[in-house]
Chain A
Amino acid sequence: MIGIGILRHFGLTIATLAAMTMPSHAYTAYVSNEKGNSISVVDTEKMTTVATIKTGERPRGIEVSRDGKFVFVATGDDNTIQIIDTATRKIVGELPSGPDPEQFALDPAGKFLYVANEDDAAVTVIDVEARKAVAKIPVGVEPEGIAVSPDGKIVICTSETTSMAHFIDTTDRKVVANVLIGSRPRAAAFKPDGSELWITSEVGGGLSIIDPTTRKITKVVRFTIPGLRAEKIQPVGINITSDGKLGFVHLGPSNRIAVVDGTTHEVLKYLLVGQRVWHGAFTPDGKYLLAANGLSNDVSVIDVASLKVIKSVQVGELPWGVAMGSK
């Protein structure tokens, strides 16, 4: 027993050392700090915060443009999406998001950006290059999560009080289908091959797996953690690996991320991270997942191969989400 223990310990140390010293590609992670009114710039090689960019009020949803030149950040209390030049780290413009933007998504081409307007029961479509709103699509009460299908043909918007996932056709910008799901749906994500749509529910406490073709729920994954009250387990952000084999579901105030098997949808593991884990992003090489912990003001770094939390990086106040760019 002791021998095995030592071996295990030794093995682990080597793995950890290897992970730390491996010549991984350097990327830049941008973390929105909801209360800090800033973005923390994290160097993923050093795994430290290397710069802080001041933003407008209450930055939450964050994405990097497809060409890597800009960061888009939704500053909800300023009712806009700010554009930051990644080279100069300066605010260079705005996108007309409509009121109180929180979550938004870029289409695969990076041409259009879809924003959920929580207080307006609408999705605003923005032409990124023209920096103009080109459409406003009525959806259910309190739209929240947004996802674009990998082929760019469908946008999903979840509405929290209506408890629906709205399927929006991106060609004629109309709602073409609605799927009723668990109470207060939050985030939505497609598997990279487009075969499944995953949606978290805050009150339902689960993850709905939807077939995007039939638009039917095929399975509901439940999360239970011994010793934790059900209302502490609030599934929020979803990150699915590029091969579709693993899904990481951020469980909010339970301070854990559930690792879900991409095929069987079984919960493989609960990773203990910082407090109130909300949203995250993979490094482009898929090696690490960075997850924003709102109440502990840090980002947990998860090694995807070993499914271990290997580091915590201090960022600004109340980190909300993460977006990845090149160095």
Chain B
Amino acid sequence: MGRHAAWPRLLRSLPRKHTFLVVKLCLAVATCLVANWIGAPAAAESQPIKIGYLHGPLSKEKISLIDIPAPNEGLAGAQLAIDDNNTTGSFLGQRFELIESKIAEGDDPASAVKALADQGAAFIAVNLPATQLLQAADAGKASGEILINAGAPDERLREQDCRANVIHVAPTRFMLADALAQYLIVRKWRNWFLVSGSHDGDKAFADALRHAAKRFGAKIVAEKEFKDTGGARRTDSGLAEVQRQMIDLTQGVPDYDILVAADESEVFAGYLPYRTWTPRPVAGSAGLVPTTWDAAFDQWGALQLQNRFKKKYQRFMTPLDMQLWTAVRIVGEAAAHANTADAAQLFAYIKSPEFSVAAFKGQKLTLRDWNLQLRQPILLFDGRNTVSISPQEGFLHQTSELDTLGLDRPETKCKLR
């Protein structure tokens, strides 16, 4: 501290025209000092561990104005994890860098993957749809790129289309549906009215909910599809119209306990709560939503991460931010424990039984060795508060209760290669 205090005095003692030069010099010295401090107390300056973040555009088509993503959603989570990795790394002589790469919707990511590989990023956190993710994985295979899927929930990426060089941090649709189903079963809300959207993602989530109902003993007493004919989302003075639409949609079905909506595309589910024909709660894509994170979650030290995030980015941390934080932390955690910067060794450690990562979920998170999916508790969020966390008590499993969420080892179609 005393050292810093000396600078202003030095500045004052210099003729005015030299001041600018001195400021520049100071900045250079300060940069060196910071770099040194980050590297300390390692004897030699180590090579940084570079992590790529490959992503497409974020969808702005949201039902609620509140849900429109910040431009740095996801990226901010990755950056914060880099900071956290570097704080830990400063005690081990390890340094981490993030390289962002953004591609357009539907673009082949091969050249972006190659560019990241050329810059020395062996691990790439990815938020891309399934098709692009597979293209990226295959493009990076020869050069030994390891992808961490932080966005795509598709089962097929962990099943028939699984890849040996892709780790999955994002939970699957089946994991999310199972987490919700367990809670509804515990509450004894067994009779579901399933309303699904007409897009592929909606249908896939509806399949996951049907699978979960069967698995945990819920009954789907009625099903309807909401066709996306365009223009359903926010329109001026559309409220009256929407209200009538939702009443019509939810009429004429047998009595049910809860309406379960599958609407990943955000076309209608957000309009369901308080607009159903009979007064029933809503879950799934609106109402009670299964997720990896919410801004109100404060258990198991999560408040500290929320504070750290808010302080740095002046906004709440979202599920996507958390998934990227976790993806980048996995590399940092492996580097600290395996004590290496070598990508192949890091990947081997991540796949070993010794590996685990803490992500404020009250227990350590590990990888399913058959498809490299991260096991994780799932939060149930009502839009204001965390209602519960699944797996629910009483859903038992011979190896890990977390494996009561999603497809289990005996059911897998994945052959890692």
Chain A contact residues, CB within 8 Å of chain B: 100, 118-119, 121, 138, 140-142, 159-164, 166, 175, 178, 180, 183-184, 202-204, 229-231, 234
Contact = CB atoms under 8 A, between A and B. Distances in A.
Interface string B41-72: 10000000000000000000000000000000
B91 A183 contact: no
Contacts of B92: 178
Q: Report which residue of A161, A180, A202 has the largest number of chain B beta carbons within 10 angstroms of its beta carbon.
A: A161
B363 interface: yes
A180 B337 contact: yes
Contacts of B304: 118-119, 142, 160-161
11 contacts: A119-B304, A119-B307, A138-B87, A141-B88, A162-B91, A163-B333, A164-B88, A178-B92, A203-B358, A203-B363, A230-B363
Of listed B304, B311, B329, residue having the most chain A CB within 10 A: B304
A183 B329 CA distance: 13
Contacts of A160: 301, 304, 358
Interface string B190-228: 000000000000000000000000000000000000000
B35 to A, nearest CB: 14
Nearest to A121: B87
A142 B401 CA distance: 28
Contact of B88 (A119, A161, A203, A231): A161
Interface of B: 37, 41, 84, 87-88, 90-92, 300-301, 304-305, 307-308, 311, 329, 333, 336-337, 356-358, 362-364, 393, 401
A53 B208 CA distance: 55
Query: 6 tightest A-B contacts by CB?
Result: A162-B88, A183-B358, A178-B91, A231-B362, A231-B363, A141-B84
Contacts of A234: 362
Given A119-B307, A164-B91, A229 B393 contact: yes
A229 B336 CA distance: 29
A229 B357 CA distance: 19
Contacts of A229: 393, 401
A92 B356 CA distance: 47
Contacts of A180: 336-337
Contacts of B393: 229
Contacts of A141: 84, 87-88, 308
A175 B337 CA distance: 19
Residue in B311, B333, B364 with the greatest tally of chain A CB atoms within 10 Å:
B364
Nearest to A183: B358
A1 B308 CA distance: 61
A288 B90 CA distance: 42
A53 B305 CA distance: 31
A141 B359 CA distance: 13
A159 B401 CA distance: 28
Given A140-B88, A162-B87, A175-B91, A184 B301 contact: yes
Nearest to A118: B304
A161 B91 contact: no
A163 B92 CA distance: 12
Contacts of A161: 84, 88, 304-305, 329, 358
Contacts of B333: 163
Given A203-B363, A231-B362, 8 more contacts: A100-B307, A118-B304, A141-B308, A161-B304, A183-B357, A202-B300, A231-B363, A234-B362
Contacts of A166: 91
A162 B131 CA distance: 35
Contact of B356 (A121, A175, A183): A183
A278 B337 CA distance: 29
A121 B393 CA distance: 35
A166 B37 CA distance: 16
Contact of A203 (B37, B311, B362): B362
Contacts of A204: 364
Chain B CB within 10 A, most for which of A180, A183, A203, A234? A203
Contacts of A100: 307
A142 B302 CA distance: 11
A161 to B, nearest CB: 6
Contacts of B336: 162-163, 180
